[in-house]
Amino acid sequence: MVTTEVKIPLRPVPLVRRTPVAILLFPAATMALLGLWDLGRRGIWSDEAATWSAARRTPSELWQLLSSIDAIHGLYYLLMHGLLSLRPDAFMLRLPSVIGMVLAAALVAAIGARLAGARVGLVAGMLFSVLPLVSLYAQEGRSHALVVGGATAATYFLVRALETGEGRWWRWYAVATALTVLLHAFALLLPAAHAVTLLLSRSSARQWRCWSLSAAFAVVAVTPVAWMASGQKEDALAWIPEPGWEAVTRLVRSFAGPSGWIACLVLLLAAAALVAPRRPTLDRPPVSVVTVALPLLVVPPALLIAVSQIDPVYDQRYVLYALPGLCLLAASGLDRLTGLVLFRGAMPLAMPAAAALMVSLVLGGQLGAHHHVRAGESRLDDLLPMAEMVRQEAKPGDAVLFLASPRRKVAVAYPEKFAGLRDVALAKSAAASGTLYGTELPPRELKEALSKAQRVWLLDREDSDQRRVFRSAGERAKQEVLSDRFHREGVERLHGGSVHLYVHN
């Protein structure tokens, strides 16, 4: 009699699954369609004007700018410099953000598929792609969408590294994390979320060592940028208030969706994933949807809000990369609830039907929010209406004046609309001064130059009030000359600002 000795491995060996291509393509295609929908129709708004101003400079001018402000966006501005040199318009300004969100949608699906199966992956990716908040930042010419894409890529590489233990995935994780942190330094909270994943997954000493080396690589990569940006905080983040409980509730509403009943549905499904999580089996490693998604969703916002109680730096956009965590939890919760309610034989049809219903409800129930994202009213300070009015009404030789210096971003975003007009307060252009919007004349010279003008177009914020008190001597000088030597002939209040015509007495 021949006996065969069977050796049982001491540790469960995870089953390596291949993710069906369709699971990635459906969310990516949906995100691409929503992202490209009316991408270039809306005018450039305030924050995008900063990207426009920085990215259309020579490399030496860009370095001069980063030495004084916005060093934290240096890599992003360099990328945009190359793209806008090919096609300088609003479409190209926003296209990288669409690409970032398309990448994120595909990778959210890939993460879900590897951790909980193809059904969960497809639902998570589709849910992510149809959220209005995702569309909002996919159509904004800033770095936030690219950070989401990079953070999701890093999370995917972490999952693969924990599944297989292969060094190549740790190397990819280190590179993705470093690039993401270079796009925005607050993404450095991402490795902290991943550390909690390792803790919950009871990772080995080798895995902790690989994570530590990867996190250290990201810290080293961002250190020069952080050092440059540390002296620029007052200029870049002075506007941020200390976050309270209202900031937490606003973040939850934004992530889950602006529609109340849809937000409740998403949150209930996410809670279901926590109440009835999947248990590790012989073909499923200890890393799971909950151990990956929950830290990703909670840790970065919690840490940034906590730090902001001492030094306010929190803004919802800076932790946008936590959103995939909610989508993964909601998809897992839907899968778990469907499995609990129905018998096993009905699952192949019931889960796709439930998933299609949920995604349709989220998209259909928030079509109004998607339309709003693509309208000029979705941004508080759309600059195009003011620029168009000046182009249509101003005469060659008229002077233009910006009551607050950042309002000059209108002329920076649309210089062709101000052709033939004299920026009466401008001392040095944005590029020549190494600033985003240029520098202005000293108060005495400003008064003299303004007094010689015959017609002045004044651009101000929407709630313009000439009686308000400015701290800046230059702004007070503008008010003084306008009230003493000019009379206002008309004012037009537009979305994003107001345009006033002053005529010399």
Alpha-carbon distance values, 272 to 2, 56, 263, 334, 505 (Å): 51, 48, 14, 8, 71
Q: pLDDT value at position 114?
A: 93
The answer to whether the CB of 41 falls within 8 A of the CB of 414 is no
Alpha-carbon distance values, 8 to 12, 13, 17, 223 (Å): 9, 10, 21, 47
Q: pLDDT value at position 366?
A: 80
Q: Please report, in tens digits, the pLDDT of each residue of the chain (505 residues total).
A: 445 554 444 444 444 456 678 889 999 999 999 999 999 888 898 899 999 999 999 999 999 999 888 889 999 999 999 999 999 999 999 999 999 999 999 999 999 999 998 889 999 999 999 999 999 999 999 999 999 999 999 999 999 999 988 999 999 999 999 999 999 999 999 999 999 999 999 999 999 999 999 999 999 999 998 888 877 766 667 778 889 999 999 999 999 987 788 889 899 999 999 986 665 544 555 789 999 999 999 999 999 999 999 989 999 999 999 999 999 999 999 888 887 765 555 556 666 776 777 777 777 778 888 888 887 667 777 889 899 999 999 999 999 999 876 678 999 999 999 999 999 999 999 999 999 899 999 999 999 999 999 999 999 876 555 566 777 888 889 989 999 999 999 888 887 788 999 999 8
The answer to whether the CB of 273 falls within 8 A of the CB of 337 is no
In three-state secondary structure terms, 425 is coil
Q: pLDDT value at position 261?
A: 82
Q: pLDDT value at position 346?
A: 54
Q: Which of 41, 44, 74 is nearest to 384 (CA)?
A: 44
The answer to whether the CB of 424 falls within 8 A of the CB of 401 is yes
Alpha-carbon distance values, 440 to 420, 472, 489 (Å): 19, 11, 25
Domains and CATH numbers, the chain: 21-378 (no CATH), 384-504 (3.40.50)
Report pTM: 0.90
In three-state secondary structure terms, 323 is helix
Q: Around Cβ 74, how many Cβ atoms within 10 Å?
A: 21
Q: pLDDT value at position 15?
A: 42
**DSSP letter assigned to residue 408:** G
